[in-house]
Structure 1
């Protein structure tokens, strides 16, 4: 029972307190301060917090950025994490191929179960990033070349992190693609707590599960060995399906187990409690006056226009005059200009980003000015991109296609796509621009891997040999198995010299089916028609095997492309 106090408080009384009036001679109870009469004790405000308003202003942003701790990890998520770790240890130690998709499947399920338990819904952009990441993991299963595979795997991890975080702005998309690594420590602690809680209350069930698994494993080993010894065909199929695990590579397998465990737990924790990177506020730059902002950009546009006018003159037939005035060869002129134009494109994107930060934005006429000036700059830069790609085409005609040349040409082409997206954002709004740029980068990496750059390099050089009988066999011998179909069309002895090293590397490799790409399997079928001795003898009988004869010396000694 609580009795009201004139001071506004309520003093809790025992049930034996009587409500009858006190006698006149009863002593007056001592007066208690108001703060002592409250049912819940009130503390004086912290003077340090009063003196730091900046810390108080930052607290809401931090609370929005750091999510609340998720609930206890579900059993389904734990099983998927354990499956990812085991598959990583068993399959990833022999190379990359279809095994990446096999390992990624339970990791995706772990993230899905964790997000479902946290009440998160599947959004359209989340599905786009997730499907794109899985599509990128198809590249290692199709291509034997290591460099497109590396780009695809890195991009797949970035898209997976974006799918888990769901960022929208420029800074959010950038940090969201790397944010998976920020959940490693918290994910491990989250998984450890879940395991301890289950072990504390289910020791009997864990023992039953362990005994059941052990009995099943013993039965599979015993009867599998009997059937394998009874039938050679069954033994061959069983040997191809079961990973070859030896004691010598145990440390490597343990490391892969830890990587799979940590990665799957980090993905699941991020799905349950994603960091809201969009909560980081970036202050817009101070708006400049019209003249101060527009004059430098207009001067830059005029410079671009003058350069493009000269380029159009050259493209319309003025190459001979330019060559005579500059004392450069046709190929030197092309090589000299491409790299400068590539840097000009990159710097133009930086200029556009800074110009948007300081652009005048007070009135509608200011926005019209910004769109006009930057739109003209983007359009002129697109023509510069076309000029750079044309110079690369001339360069390739003179020296042949290489890995470096096709890579930088692909980057230049993607920068052109980014410029088109910026122009579209200026016309229709920039809300989707950060995610559109990230999606275009993922599509570019996927397309780069699917077109098989090593195969394109081989095809272009073979066609160049047919046109002018100039080829660099020493360079083509270092390509991957993806180039075998094109190199197989060369006449002898060039064919044997180009394929000899590739055939030797494939012969020495014993990768299992899950770590073998489709390009490697196709190359094995082509090279199985002739033995390695036949290739070596045919190559030794010619001068081409030693780098002479039909070798293009300019390609070999090109200082701008050592690859």
Structure 2
């Protein structure tokens, strides 16, 4: 049974005996309507398409079923931030990545020292070779981040203490990531310092494609390089073993230069190899195709009216002013008068205020950030109002910072310096620097403020490591002992080798009691030259000249709780972390 469709007006059906059978529905010669030639699929011809389906041509459907017809799809934020696929990895970058991986496996397994800087150099060179084909120019801030990161890696080579070394290494990685991404805004600087993590997977795929291209290419140069390196390693092992067995002095030199790699630590070495390889490839990929983190924009807050915005800040300024006035009274009238009126001991007064003032400084910075977001900006006098109110708040906050540091100084004079106390004092000092930078931005513009704050943090970490906090702690406690014969040997003996030069000046038996545990740690540590810091080498030299002799009986009077000055009515342990 055939399907008959009525023709629409204006659509020709091609009647007549001369119409050729062209497959358009026009009957051929001698074919009458309703013959089998009009049936769908008859004679190999395509089925007839109804006229209503041919009116507007083939119907188009949007790719997104939830998108309105005719609307253009909006690119996602992540797709606008990610760059185009970089060019194929260069041979120089690939070689630098392999060298970084090998050095990581051979040198980093014994600890951190100058080896951190040695491993970072080929990784930085690989990023440099990767960025050359892109045509990107070296900008001043990029050079600052890169050189600052390398300078921070000098801290492990100089200091034995683990906590400033850890801060320096983490800060070095963050500065290296900033150098590769080149961010400017607040969110861009924060995400840019972590952006190297986002290039790990892409860097591995990028390096894998480069290796496959060289292995399967027409010239197959990578296979020749691998064979050459293998032959060189075999020759070094064979002849090095012969020369080492022939001469003891050469064997000793060779043993100091070559890392001691055993089968038992092979998994650890393999992990270090992969870490170095992944890090170098991620750095190269980020240099060739950096993510533009500054593309993430934060909408400005809705501007408030002058009264609504300024009244809370003026009240806060008045509160700060009253506090500052009280602090000036304390400075002029003396702490004895204040302690007599408040029934607080000397240590309690110093300890009670520092942590509160530290949190007050942090919260003030948060208030300033929110105030700038909602600051009035509609008329000409708004800028003057914002500068006046926030400038006064910053000045008063600097006074709070000074008061907090003064209280910490009093507390250290009474009970000595510890790692926590010097750390929080350094943080409070850096917060004061941030407030000064905010004040400068109010006059000179805030375009460079995010990078200036990040740079101040990096400089602070570098200075903290170079000043050797463990040595400062030991030196202050030694001076305190000379003044009032108060000292805690248990705490000082737990410091690193950086404290040995200061502790070496103590009289016996205090010197031996303080250095006994440090000397035992150094004797148990057989790190090679590349994992030995200058502080550790200096401590070994000092202890080799003057040996340590102490017994439990001679050190007992100087243990925790004895020989320390303070208020007997105060049950607070001066060496408690808080």
Report the TM-score, using the length of structure 2 for normalisation. Answer: 0.87
CA, structure 1 residues 172+329, in 2 after alignment: closer, same or farther (shift >3 Å)? same
Which residue in the other structure is 1:325 paired with? 341
| Residue 535 of structure 1 pairs with residue 546 of structure 2 | no
Tell me, in whole angstroms, the C-alpha distance in 1 between the residues paired with 2:509 and 2:119: 43
Q: Greater CA deviation, 179-188 or 402-411?
A: 179-188
Is contact 2:61–2:69 with CA below 8 Å preserved after alignment?
no
Tell me, in whole angstroms, the C-alpha distance in 2 between the residues paired with 1:288 and 1:49: 41
Q: Deviation at 1:57?
A: 7.5
Which residue in the other structure is 1:558 paired with? 573
Which residue in the other structure is 1:473 paired with? 489
CA, structure 1 residues 106+364, in 2 after alignment: closer, same or farther (shift >3 Å)? same
Is contact 2:168–2:465 with CA below 8 Å preserved after alignment?
yes
Tell me, in whole angstroms, the C-alpha distance in 1 between the residues paired with 2:234 and 2:222: 18
Tell me, in whole angstroms, the C-alpha distance in 2 between the residues paired with 1:62 and 1:542: 63
Is contact 2:509–2:550 with CA below 8 Å preserved after alignment?
no
Which residue in the other structure is 2:38 paired with? none
- Choose the corresponding residue for 1:401, options 414, 417, 436: 417
Which residue in the other structure is 1:218 paired with? 234
Q: Greater CA deviation, 350-359 or 179-188?
A: 179-188
Tell me, in whole angstroms, the C-alpha distance in 1 between the residues paired with 2:69 and 2:404: 54
Is contact 2:110–2:528 with CA below 8 Å preserved after alignment?
yes
Tell me, in whole angstroms, the C-alpha distance in 2 between the residues paired with 1:371 and 1:49: 51
Tell me, in whole angstroms, the C-alpha distance in 1 between the residues paired with 2:571 and 2:493: 13
- Choose the corresponding residue for 2:390, options 351, 363, 374: 374
CA, structure 1 residues 57+443, in 2 after alignment: closer, same or farther (shift >3 Å)? farther
- Larger Cα-atom Rg: 2
Is contact 1:227–1:235 with CA below 8 Å preserved after alignment?
yes
CA, structure 1 residues 56+387, in 2 after alignment: closer, same or farther (shift >3 Å)? farther
Q: Greater CA deviation, 191-200 or 135-144?
A: 191-200
- Choose the corresponding residue for 2:305, options 262, 270, 289: 289
| Residue 64 of structure 1 pairs with residue 80 of structure 2 | yes
Q: Deviation at 1:291?
A: 0.1
Deviations 1:349-372 (A, max 9, x none): 000000000000112211110011
Tell me, in whole angstroms, the C-alpha distance in 1 between the residues paired with 2:84 and 2:257: 44
| Residue 430 of structure 1 pairs with residue 446 of structure 2 | yes
CA, structure 1 residues 258+150, in 2 after alignment: closer, same or farther (shift >3 Å)? same
Deviations 1:383-430 (A, max 9, x none): 100000000000001110000000000000000000000000001100
Q: Deviation at 1:527?
A: 0.5
Is contact 1:494–1:544 with CA below 8 Å preserved after alignment?
no
Which residue in the other structure is 2:262 paired with? 246
* Mapping of residues 385-464 of structure 1, within 5 Å: 385-464=401-480
Q: Deviation at 1:217?
A: 1.6
Which residue in the other structure is 1:488 paired with? 504
Which residue in the other structure is 2:192 paired with? 176
| Residue 266 of structure 1 pairs with residue 279 of structure 2 | no
Deviations 1:147-166 (A, max 9, x none): 00000000001001000000
Tell me, in whole angstroms, the C-alpha distance in 2 between the residues paired with 1:407 and 1:195: 47
* Mapping of residues 273-312 of structure 1, within 5 Å: 273-312=289-328
Q: Deviation at 1:559?
A: 7.0
Which residue in the other structure is 1:123 paired with? 139
Which residue in the other structure is 1:18 paired with? none
CA, structure 1 residues 56+421, in 2 after alignment: closer, same or farther (shift >3 Å)? farther
Unpaired stretches in structure 2, ≥5 consecutive residues: 1-17, 26-50
Tell me, in whole angstroms, the C-alpha distance in 1 between the residues paired with 2:499 and 2:101: 34
- What is the number of equivalent residue pairs in this alignment? 530
Deviations 1:446-473 (A, max 9, x none): 0000000000000000000000010111
Which residue in the other structure is 1:113 paired with? 129
CA, structure 1 residues 429+62, in 2 after alignment: closer, same or farther (shift >3 Å)? same
Unpaired stretches in structure 1, ≥5 consecutive residues: 1-24
Deviations 1:186-238 (A, max 9, x none): 11111111111111115754443333222222221222122222322222211
CA, structure 1 residues 52+450, in 2 after alignment: closer, same or farther (shift >3 Å)? farther
Tell me, in whole angstroms, the C-alpha distance in 1 between the residues paired with 2:58 and 2:534: 72
CA, structure 1 residues 269+501, in 2 after alignment: closer, same or farther (shift >3 Å)? same
CA, structure 1 residues 485+172, in 2 after alignment: closer, same or farther (shift >3 Å)? same
Q: Deviation at 1:324?
A: 1.2
- Choose the corresponding residue for 1:234, options 237, 242, 250: 250
CA, structure 1 residues 334+545, in 2 after alignment: closer, same or farther (shift >3 Å)? closer
CA, structure 1 residues 28+97, in 2 after alignment: closer, same or farther (shift >3 Å)? same
Q: Deviation at 1:322?
A: 1.3
Which residue in the other structure is 1:88 paired with? 104
